[in-house]
Amino acid sequence: MVRKKADAGANRPRLSLHVPEPKFRPGDAVDYSDLVIPEAGAQPRPDETCQASDTYPLCNDMIRVLGSNHRAHGPWDPRLSPDALRQILSDMTLVRTFDNRMYRAQRQGKTSFYLKCTGEEATSVAATRALDFEDMIFPSYRQQGCLIARDYPILEMVNQIYSNRADRLKGRQLPILYSARSANFFTISGNLATQLPQATGFAMASAIKGDSKIAAGWVGEGSTAEGDFHSALTFAAVYNAPVVFNVINNQWAISSFSGIAGAERATFAARAIGYGIAGLRVDGNDALAVYAAERWAADRARSNAGPTLIEFFTYRGEGHSTSDDPNVYRSAHEREEWPLGDPIARLKAHLIAVGEWSDEQNDALEHELDEQVKAAQREAEKNGILGHGLHHPFHTMFEDVFEELPWHLEEQAEQAIKERQIKWPD
C-alpha cells in the first residue's frame, strides 16, 4: 500500500528549535553552585612534548594553582621569583588604572570609544610575561595588557586613543585598535577572529625559515564561532604550526552569553580534541596558572610538538565597551558572585601570604601608577583630543599605501584639501 503524501510523517513528533538562554537575567539572584571548580593543584602536568591526547582530560578540567589559602599548589606552580610576581601584579594594576582613566576620558568626550578588560587582566599580562619578547602577539581588542606587559609607552597608547597629531597610526584606526611593531604586537582588527589565521601563517612562516619565533593569538569565546577560527586551527593542526591559541571565555560576547557560541555543549578547550591538537582549560583569574599554561604551550610550540588551544575561564567584569550597558541583559549580581574572584586581588593576597608584599606597599603602588597614567594623559592632551582639530595633516589620509603617490590620488588629495579649505576657512 502506498501512503498518500499528506499522511507522510503524520505520526512523527514535531521538531523544535533550541535557543540558548543565560541562567540569569537583570534582577535575578545569582547561583553558581552548578559550576565545577576543582581544587587548586589537583591537575596533572604532562610533559610539554607529550601526545596531544594526553592533554584531553585537562580540556574538561581546570588548571588552578592558587588555593583558598592564597598559596601555590601542585605541579603547575611556575615557581616564579617574588620580583617576577610583583612585576605581574604591577602590570595588572597598571592595566586597570589605565582602563579606568581612559573610560573617564571617553565619558568626558576626549575620545569616541573605549573598551575595558576588568577582571581579565591576568589572561593578557601573565600570558605575555610567559612568552619571549620576540614571539609575535596577535591580539583581539581586549589585550591592552599585552602591550603593558611588554613595556610599551603608555603615552603612545593614549595618543592612539585620542587619535591626535602624535598618534603613530595617524588616526586611521578606531581607538584601542593598536599596532606596535616595536613590541612585536600585530595590528588589531575590529573584524572578529581574523588574527588567528594570521597567527597560524606567521608560525608556519617561522617554521619554514627555521626561525625560533612562535606566534600567540587571542580571541574571545564568541569569536570561536567565526569561520576564521576553524580555518586557523585546521592549518595549525595539519602543518604542526608553532602557535598558541588563547580563547578568553569571559562568559559574554557583546550582549549574548557564551552558550550562543556553544558553551552549553562542551568546553571551548575541548575543541582542541576535534583537531587533534593539545588543549588546556585554565582558571583565567589565577595569574600563576595563566603563566604556567602559556609557558607550557610556548615551550611545546618551540619544541616542534605542535599548537595548543588554551581556554582561559574568566569573567568580563564590566560592559563590552563604552557603547554597551550590561545591566539590560545580565544580572548585576554576577560579578560580585563570580566564584573565581578577581585576578589582581588574588595575586596580591598570595604575595602577602608568602611575606613578599603588604597592603601599604600595594597602596603606594596604586598611587604611583595612577600618577604615571595621569602624567601620560596630560602629555597626550598637549597633542590634542577628539574633535579639537589637532590632527595629522589632511593629506596623510592618502599616504603610506604607495611608495610614490599616483597622479590620480594626488589630484584627489588636492581637490579634497581645496574643498576642506572652502568649507572650513579657519
Contact 154, 319 (CB under 8 A): no
Q: Grid coordinates standing for 216?
A: 600567540
378: left (phi over 0), alpha (psi -120 to 50) or beta: alpha
Give bridge partners of residue 281 from the DSSP assignment: 311
How many Å separate Cα 87 from the centre of its chain? Answer: 19
Nearest to 151 by CA among 102, 212, 95, 85: 95
Q: How far apart are CA 318 and CA 104, in angstroms?
A: 14
Phi, psi angles (nearest 5°) of residue 132: -80, 150
At residue 2, does pLDDT exceed 70? no
Contact 169, 160 (CB under 8 A): yes
Give bridge partners of residue 278 from the DSSP assignment: 308
Run of H or E residues at 283: strand 278-283
* Mean pLDDT, range 391-403, rounded to an integer: 86
* Mean pLDDT, range 360-379, rounded to an integer: 98
Per-residue pLDDT of 206-252, as tens digits, reads 999 999 999 999 999 999 999 999 999 999 999 999 999 999 999 99
Per-residue pLDDT of 46-102, as tens digits, reads 999 999 999 999 999 999 999 999 999 999 999 999 999 999 999 999 999 999 999
Q: How far apart are CA 307 and CA 272, in angstroms?
A: 9
The residue whose grid cell reads 560576547 is 253
At residue 10, does pLDDT exceed 80? no
What percent of the residues of the chain are helix, what percent strand, and what percent coil, each to the nearest 5? Answer: 45, 10, 50
Contact 77, 292 (CB under 8 A): yes
* Residue 197 DSSP SS3: helix
Q: How far apart are CA 342 and CA 326, in angstroms?
A: 19
Q: Grid coordinates standing for 417?
A: 584639501
Report the percent of the chain where pLDDT is more than 90: 90
DSSP string, 339-370: TT--HHHHHHHHHHHTTS--HHHHHHHHHHHH
Domains of the chain: 52-381 (3.40.50.970), 395-423 (no CATH)
Q: Which of 45-49, 235-239, 364-368, 411-415 is least confident? A: 411-415
Q: pLDDT tier at 395 (50, 70, 90 boundaries)?
A: confident
* Mean pLDDT, range 379-390, rounded to an integer: 88
* Mean pLDDT, range 8-29, rounded to an integer: 90
Q: How far apart are CA 344 and CA 86, in angstroms?
A: 11
* Residue 113 DSSP SS3: coil
* Residue 252 DSSP SS3: strand
Q: pLDDT tier at 6 (50, 70, 90 boundaries)?
A: low
Q: What is the mean pLDDT of the chain?
A: 95
Contact 259, 251 (CB under 8 A): no
Contact 38, 61 (CB under 8 A): yes
